[in-house]
C-alpha cells in the first residue's frame, strides 16, 4: 500500500500546505499549522458509483408541517431558533466544567420519556452518568447509554437503534479507523464530525456534539468544524458565577445571538425565565461608577449593570481593562469623553466590569460606559432608578439604537423611573411611570453630575 501522503493544515484558515511552517502563509497566524493526513478520496466519497440524486424544482420539495420539536427546555429551544430540527447537527462548546454534559443529560432524560434517545459518552463511565441522573431526579428509565469512542461502531449501533436524538460527548474523544492522528487532533475531529453529520442527514437523527474549548477560547482544533455543522452554540459563564449563558454563533435554522440563560444549581441547570433581574447587583444605596443599561440580545431586552472603577495611575502608562466589553472601544470612548465631555482620564487607571459575567457586544453600551467612568471619577453616584442606553460617535453625538421602545418598556417593568436615551429613541407617547430625557450630545448626558 502506498504510504499516506503527509500534508499540513492551518487550524485557523484551514489552508493546506505540503510543507510545515511556523507562520501560516495564508492568514499569517503563528503556530497554527499542524500535520494532517488527508483522507483518501475513497474514504470521503466511498468511491463514485454513478449518479444517485436527481434535480428537483423548489416548488416540489416536500416540506413537513412542523419539522422542529421541542427539547423540553424553553431557553435552549430559543437558542436553537425554536426547537430542534431532525437531521441537524448542533455543536455545544464551552470550557470544561461549564455544564455541557449536565445540560445535555437533562435534555436527554426528559426527551427519553417520549422519544428514543441515545447518549454516547467517551469521557465518563455509564455509572457516573446514571449516578448523576439519579441525583438530579431525572427520569432515567428509558435513556439509552453507550460508552464508545469509535465512530464506525457508534454509527452501526445508531443505525440499528434508530434514535431520534443522539449526543456525542465529546467530539474530541472520537476516532475513525484509518486516520492515524490521535483523538482530539484536527483530522480526527473533523473527519469524525463529518461522518456523524452524514449519518444525521441520511437518517434524520438530530445530533448534539459536545466540544471543549481551549484556553484561548476556541474550540480545540475544530474551528475546522464550524462549516460542517448546522448550529454552533457556546455556553459562557465563569466558574465563580452561578449563571450560564447559551449563545448561538451560527444557526442555519434561526437567528444568531439569541440568548438562553440558565443557573447552575445543586439540582443541575435551571432555566432563568426572567433574566433581566440577575445581571443587576441590587445595591440598596446608589454607588458611584455603577450604571444600569438595557441591551438587546436576539429578540429580547436585558437589563445589565456596568461598573467602572477609575483610580490614579502609579505606573508609566495608565491601565485600561474591560471585562465583558470590548477594550478597544473603551479606549475610543475615553478619548471622546476627554474631547467632547472635558473629562480627562490620561492619568487614571480605568477598570470596567459587566455584572453577572455576560458579554456585551452592542454599541448601545457606549453611553452607559461613559457615564459609569464619569461617575466613578467624580465619585458621584447616579440615581439607582436611572437607566441609560445609546451609541456614542467620535464627535460626541448620541446615535439611536434599534428597539428603543421595547428597551424602555423592559426598564419600566423592573421599576426604573428615569431614562437617558438618544433623542431618536425617545417614545412618541409617554410611557407611564417613566421620565425620559432625550439627548443628542454626550455633554448633555454629563449635565446630570
Ligand atoms: P459538567 O456538565 O460535567 O461540565 P462539562 O461537561 O461542560 O465539562 O458540569 C460539571 C460542573 O457542574 C461541576 O463543576 C459541578 C457542577 N454541577 C453543579 O453545580 N450542580 C449539578 O447538579 C451538577 C450535575 C454539576
Ligand atoms: Mg462533560
- The rounded Å distance from CA 266 to ligand 2 centre is 16
d(CA 166, ligand 1 centre) in Å: 20
How many CB atoms within 10 Å of residue 196?
Answer: 26
pLDDT band at 181 (very low <50, low <70, confident <90, very high): confident
Architecture of domain 278-448: 2-Layer Sandwich (3.30)
Residue nearest to ligand 1 atom 23, measured at CA: 268
Q: Atom of ligand 1 at shortest distance to CA of 103?
A: 2
Calculate mean pLDDT across residues 282-301. 86
Counting from 1 in the atom list of ligand 1, the atom nearest the Cα of 132 is 24
**Is it true that the peptide bond before 170 is cis, omega within 30 degrees of 0?**
yes
Pairing mode, strands 144-147 and 165-169: unpaired
CA–CA gap between residue 85 and residue 81 (Å, rounded): 9
* Residues 391, 414 contacting (CB under 8 angstroms): no
Question: Which protein residue has the closest C-alpha to ligand 1 atom 21?
Answer: 268
Q: What is the pLDDT of residue 358?
A: 81
Ligand closest to 96 (CA) is 1
Summarised one tens digit per residue, pLDDT across range 123-179 is 999 999 999 999 999 987 889 999 999 999 999 999 999 999 999 998 989 999 888
pLDDT at 221: 47
Q: Minimum-distance ligand to the CA of 105?
A: 1
CATH architecture of 68-273: 3-Layer(aba) Sandwich (3.40)
Q: How far is the CA of 107 from the centre of ligand 2 (A)?
A: 14
Our answer on whether the CB atom of 100 is closer than 6 Å to any ligand 1 atom is yes
402 Cβ below 6 A of ligand 1: no
Q: Is the CB of 98 under 6 A from ligand 1?
A: yes
97 touches ligand 1 (CB under 6 Å): yes
35 CA distance to ligand 2 centroid (A)? Answer: 27
Confidence of residue 86 (pLDDT cuts 50, 70, 90): very high
Residues within 5 A (CB) of ion ligand 2: 101
Report the alpha-carbon distance of residue 276 to residue 292 in Å, rounded: 11
pLDDT at 36: 76
- Taking residues 6-19, report their average pLDDT: 79
The residues that bridge with 297 in the sheet, in sequence order, are 300
The Å distance, Cα 238 to ligand 1 centre, comes to: 12
Render pLDDT for 370-419 as a digit per residue (tens, 0 to 9). Answer: 999 999 999 999 998 999 999 999 999 999 999 999 899 989 988 899 99
pLDDT of residue 46 exceeding 70, the answer is no
Nearest residue (CA) to ligand 1, atom 9: 99
pLDDT classification of 3: cutoffs 50, 70, 90: very low
Q: Which ligand is nearest to the CA of 169?
A: 2
> How remote is the CA of residue 198 from the centroid of ligand 2, in Å?
24
Take residue 217 and report the three cell numbers written for it.
477560547
Position 41 pLDDT exceeds 80: no
What pLDDT score does 102 carry? 94
The ranges assigned to domains in the chain are: 7-44, 68-273, 278-448
Query: What span, in angstroms and rounded, lies between the C-alpha atoms of 235 and 247?
Result: 6
- Which pLDDT value is given to residue 416? 92
Distance from the CA of 212 to the center of ligand 2, in angstroms?
Answer: 9
- For residue 366, the tally of other CB atoms under 10 A from its CB is 26
Amino acid at each position: 500500500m502506498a504510504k499516506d501522503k503527509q500534508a499540513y493544515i492551518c487550524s485557523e484558515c484551514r489552508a493546506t500546505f505540503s510543507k510545515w511552517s511556523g507562520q501560516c502563509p495564508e492568514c499569517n497566524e503563528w503556530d497554527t499549522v499542524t500535520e494532517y493526513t488527508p483522507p483518501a478520496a475513497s474514504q470521503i466519497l466511498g468511491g463514485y458509483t454513478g449518479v444517485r440524486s436527481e434535480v428537483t424544482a423548489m416548488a416540489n420539495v416536500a416540506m413537513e408541517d412542523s419539522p422542529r420539536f421541542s427539547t423540553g427546555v424553553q431557553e435552549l429551544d430559543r437558542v436553537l431558533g425554536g426547537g430542534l430540527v431532525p437531521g441537524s447537527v448542533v455543536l455545544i462548546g464551552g470550557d470544561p466544567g461549564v455544564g455541557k454534559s449536565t445540560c445535555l443529560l437533562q435534555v436527554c432524560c426528559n426527551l427519553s420519556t417520549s422519544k428514543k434517545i441515545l447518549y454516547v459518552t467517551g469521557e465518563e463511565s455509564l455509572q457516573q452518568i446514571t449516578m448523576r441522573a439519579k441525583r438530579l431526579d431525572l427520569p432515567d428509565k428509558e435513556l439509552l447509554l453507550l460508552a464508545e469512542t469509535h465512530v464506525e461502531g457508534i454509527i452501526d449501533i445508531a443505525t440499528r437503534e434508530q434514535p431520534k436524538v443522539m449526543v456525542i460527548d465529546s467530539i474530541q474523544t472520537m476516532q475513525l479507523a484509518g486516520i492515524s492522528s490521535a483523538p482530539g487532533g484536527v483530522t480526527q475531529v473533523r473527519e469524525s464530525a463529518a461522518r456523524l453529520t452524514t449519518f444525521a442527514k441520511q437518517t434524520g437523527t438530530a445530533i448534539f456534539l459536545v466540544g471543549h474549548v481551549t484556553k484561548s477560547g476556541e474550540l480545540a482544533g475544530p474551528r475546522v468544524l464550524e462549516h460542517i455543522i448546522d448550529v454552533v452554540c457556546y455556553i459562557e459563564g465563569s466558574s465563580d458565577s452561578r449563571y450560564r449563558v447559551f449563545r448561538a454563533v451560527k444557526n442555519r435554522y434561526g437567528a444568531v445571538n439569541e440568548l438562553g440563560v440558565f443557573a447552575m444549581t445543586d439540582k443541575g441547570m435551571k432555566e432563568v425565565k426572567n433574566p433581566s433581574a440577575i445581571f443587576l447587583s441590587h445595591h440598596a444605596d446608589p454607588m458611584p461608577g455603577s450604571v444600569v443599561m438595557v441591551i438587546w440580545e436576539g429578540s429580547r431586552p436585558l437589563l445589565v449593570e456596568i461598573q467602572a472603577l477609575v483610580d490614579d495611575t502609579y505606573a508609566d502608562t495608565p491601565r485600561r481593562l474591560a471585562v465583558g466589553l470590548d477594550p478597544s472601544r473603551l479606549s475610543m470612548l475615553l478619548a471622546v469623553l476627554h474631547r467632547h465631555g472635558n473629562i480627562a482620564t490620561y492619568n487614571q487607571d480605568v477598570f470596567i466590569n459587566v455584572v453577572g459575567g455576560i458579554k456585551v457586544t452592542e454599541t448601545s453600551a457606549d453611553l452607559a460606559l461613559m457615564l459609569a467612568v464619569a461617575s466613578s471619577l467624580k465619585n458621584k453616584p447616579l440615581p439607582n432608578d436611572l437607566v441609560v442606553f445609546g451609541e456614542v460617535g467620535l464627535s460626541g453625538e448620541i446615535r439611536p439604537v434599534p428597539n428603543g421602545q421595547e428597551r424602555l418598556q423592559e426598564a419600566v417593568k423592573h421599576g426604573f423611573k428615569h431614562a437617558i436615551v438618544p433623542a431618536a429613541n425617545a417614545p412618541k407617547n409617554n410611557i407611564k411611570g417613566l421620565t425620559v430625557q432625550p439627548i443628542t450630545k454626550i455633554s448633555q448626558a454629563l449635565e446630570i453630575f
